[in-house]
Amino acid sequence: MGSRKPEKGIERIFYTFSEAQEFLGVSHQTLYSLMKKGLPSHKIGKKRVFLKEDLTKWIKEH
């Protein structure tokens, strides 16, 4: 039993909510505001995630 380690060689293509905040350098509230303005996000189960390519595209376009 122990902690699960991610498989080597597999790259995640998304960020969690808090990782997206860190990536964009914004607060929790600002990230919600950006979502209301059209920043794409997706639900995986109960978690909201952000595709890295969507965040990069958003930065370039705004």
For 25-36, what is the mean pLDDT? Answer: 96
32-42 confidence digits (pLDDT tens): 999 999 999 99
Predicted local distance difference test score (pLDDT) of residue 5: 59
Per-residue pLDDT for 14 more than 60?
yes
φ, ψ of residue 51 to 5 degrees: the values are -70, 135
List the one residue out of 25, 22, 24, 13 whose CA is nearest residue 49.
Answer: 13
The per-residue pLDDT for 10 is 86
**Which of 20, 8, 9, 7 has the alpha carbon at shortest distance from 47?**
20
Q: What is the rounded average pLDDT of the residues 14-25? A: 96
Q: The domain 14-61: what is its CATH number? A: 1.10.10
Instruction: State pTM to two decimals.
Output: 0.78
